Structure 1
């Protein structure tokens, strides 16, 4: 008998749980270690006082996510558990929210774009990089790509989208992953949200798995024939390990990563995100469930999510829930601020867009992600093909950063891909009586 684990998956977000499930179904013994006190990662939901607070991802498209929907079906999560949001996205310009972003309506209303910029919109949307291989499209940074069009395309479309959804700077992040995701996701009017919180998917995945929460891994060391997983004064030996954590964390944990991993790991930088979730005594009315705020309009707030508009069950009857996300420049400054400072800065800045917000606030939660989303720089994009073709070793990786498209569908595909790579190289271990 041996106490050696077959596979240890480090990270209980969607990517890690998908990999663990695929390996378990293939007959492997799998143990998942999650540092937080619950699964979900960037799709975690906090529950307090009747409020469902989505700390990370906010929606899931009903098209362009075949791996997600296929897996949800196999888990028994049908579409009634993932209802349509049915409301618009809007862009703030000239003192008001202008609806129609990522929707055909935007071709008529402009959704914040002036008449001349609207003529460029079809040309922007015709560019459709390969979702699984964004590195094959040489489009430069978001700012470089948008520079070929009317200035409004950058200021009132690309910048608010990449900063408001991903925390990106358009001067640093590549255009191809953005356009691949927009093409896959389709019109915002078809986007959905999990009725019982965005962690529904992670919770369903974890039900049949051996998951240990509160397990903070200190290091991973590859050795001949096994991998040592270090947890304080404890140690686990595994035949294989899946690092399903952000690239900077994977880089710090994997002490002796091979050279063919190290370059891409170093290039796969992440952006931080800071949010405040405001619990309100009343429900602000809005035709839009989210308002993106361009940097040209405000340097503190990038996004306002009216969660009670996104889905009525996010807040108790008659109450409201609004999430305010910091502009990327402000997020860097707020990462190490106190919760009270974050609440004061973000709620104060949001008052301009939702008057009376502070007076209606009865409670607040602050969420911070130091490593929120893959930055998808041109440098990382240039190295991705070689990373994808690397030989299989004892330590595999999973996460949307491995594909450089920041979304849950990319996380699902990465988990499936990591499991398939390990299974292709590792025969099942025989069980001894």
Structure 2
């Protein structure tokens, strides 16, 4: 019996859509299944009364995103579609915002670091291959373990806040991956955003593809040379299935993965995230104010940071309006994840008022699987997973290479397409 489709892609985030688009270009019959009602995954954007609210990822850098920029060129993005944010990132310390976190300016001013801590920062490793983080001189050290070798400020006002920006608990996550990622993406003052929302690349790709939204897949079974998917009451057969979802979701869906794949899927744990967006009747913040205020655990119990969305680009909000988004830190997220929206909004906005006058209606967004933690256990299991054989079920996502930002998703989406073409015998490379 012939399969229903050549390739079934599970997940309409940027990884799944990148893979689907590459495969569709070669003439294969490709269908994408998305459990949510809209595309974008963790790069989704909600649009409410003229406000564009990024529910997940926030920015893109000119550095460290080569595959993403190549994709954007092929999607006909122009410079104006991905404008520079222009405003800096600040670190909150002792009741004041210290500008320049993660930038050249911060190297001079300290961005909240004491002079002694700045000297210790110069001792942090600078050469980490993000393609092979397991080979780093840092080994399997966590962020907390690395910080313990230095002045306390290096933990409290640099490494912990940087980990918190990834929604990580620094006691569990790899120092090598964190430092490698920071080096790769470069100066935060050069970061950019998508003018109309972070889902723009996904929306453009989805318009060219066969995407079925609101259709969760409940099981995927490798079946010799092909695979079967259970979609609602239906069973779909495909020559190839690509699981382009977070690792815990892929582990729950794939009924019979090979041992090396199962080991990495189990080790590749994710953190959760809660973001609360508050539309404002006026644009809070003065010119030169940071678009992101990082609130480290040493100063703040509940929040990881506050974003001034209207400073990312004025098209994100109605004329003359503003919007801020507060992000709950990794330690506090688990207790709030199942709480009702009104309770989350009340607690988060109360905490945010310490930094900015907010009030009124709030929009709560949750991601149960927000970002891969990149734990030492995942680093140990990564080489075996990387060497997996071609099979009827494969994977894409930022976790596949432990590169926890959208570049990792795009890269592995293209890689999954190439592996699929190799397995199916297509003479046309992705």
Determine if the TM-score, normalized by the shorter chain, exceeds 0.5.
yes
Supply the distance in 2 between the matched residues of 1:242 and 1:47 (Cα, whole angstroms): 29
Instruction: Return closer, same or farther for 1:138/1:386 CA change in 2, 3 Å cut-off.
Output: farther
Cα shift readout 1:66-125 (whole Å, capped 9, x = no counterpart): 10001110110122210000110011100011111011111222111111111222333x
TM-superposed CA distance for 1:260, in Å, is: 1.8
TM-superposed CA distance for 1:320, in Å, is: 1.1
In the TM superposition, 1:53-202 aligns within 5 A as 53-124=53-124, 126-139=125-138, 140-163=141-164, 165-202=165-202
- SS of alignment partner, residue 400 of structure 1: coil
Cα shift readout 1:163-193 (whole Å, capped 9, x = no counterpart): 1x21101110001111111111111111000
Q: Are the counterparts in 1 of residues 3 and 239 from structure 2 also a CA contact under 8 Å?
A: no
TM-superposed CA distance for 1:224, in Å, is: 2.1
In the TM superposition, 1:228-243 aligns within 5 A as 228-243=228-243
Cα shift readout 1:271-308 (whole Å, capped 9, x = no counterpart): 00011000111111141000111111111011100001
Supply the distance in 1 between the matched residues of 2:107 and 2:262 (Cα, whole angstroms): 44
Q: Unaligned regions of 5+ residues in structure 2, if any?
A: none
Q: Unaligned regions of 5+ residues in structure 1, if any?
A: none
Deviates more, 1:369-378 or 1:16-25: 16-25
Supply the distance in 1 between the matched residues of 2:3 and 2:262 (Cα, whole angstroms): 30
Q: What's the counterpart of residue 426 of structure 1?
A: 424
Deviates more, 1:224-233 or 1:39-48: 224-233
TM-superposed CA distance for 1:3, in Å, is: 5.4
Cα shift readout 1:140-174 (whole Å, capped 9, x = no counterpart): 111112222211011101101111x2110111000
Q: Are the counterparts in 2 of residues 27 and 428 from structure 1 also a CA contact under 8 Å?
A: no
TM-superposed CA distance for 1:411, in Å, is: 0.5
Q: Are the counterparts in 2 of residues 107 and 121 from structure 1 also a CA contact under 8 Å?
A: no
How many residue pairs get aligned? The number is 423
Supply the distance in 1 between the matched residues of 2:159 and 2:306 (Cα, whole angstroms): 17
TM-superposed CA distance for 1:207, in Å, is: 1.9
Cα shift readout 1:210-260 (whole Å, capped 9, x = no counterpart): 111111111001112321100121111111100000000000000111112
Q: What's the counterpart of residue 217 of structure 2?
A: 217
- SS of alignment partner, residue 36 of structure 1: coil
TM-superposed CA distance for 1:26, in Å, is: 2.3
Supply the distance in 2 between the matched residues of 1:232 and 1:10 (Cα, whole angstroms): 13
- SS of alignment partner, residue 61 of structure 1: coil
Q: What's the counterpart of residue 269 of structure 2?
A: 269
Q: Are the counterparts in 2 of residues 51 and 315 from structure 1 also a CA contact under 8 Å?
A: yes
Deviates more, 1:167-176 or 1:134-143: 134-143
- SS of alignment partner, residue 407 of structure 2: helix
- SS of alignment partner, residue 220 of structure 2: strand
Supply the distance in 1 between the matched residues of 2:41 and 2:114 (Cα, whole angstroms): 39
Aligned with 1:342 (options 341, 344, 347): 344
Aligned with 1:370 (options 368, 375, 387): 368
Aligned with 2:395 (options 391, 394, 397): 397
Aligned with 2:297 (options 260, 281, 295): 295
Supply the distance in 2 between the matched residues of 1:330 and 1:171 (Cα, whole angstroms): 14
Supply the distance in 2 between the matched residues of 1:426 and 1:138 (Cα, whole angstroms): 39
TM-superposed CA distance for 1:428, in Å, is: 4.2
Supply the distance in 2 between the matched residues of 1:120 and 1:301 (Cα, whole angstroms): 26
Supply the distance in 2 between the matched residues of 1:112 and 1:154 (Cα, whole angstroms): 12
In the TM superposition, 1:320-359 aligns within 5 A as 320-354=322-356, 356-358=357-359
Supply the distance in 2 between the matched residues of 1:255 and 1:74 (Cα, whole angstroms): 36
Supply the distance in 1 between the matched residues of 2:225 and 2:106 (Cα, whole angstroms): 57
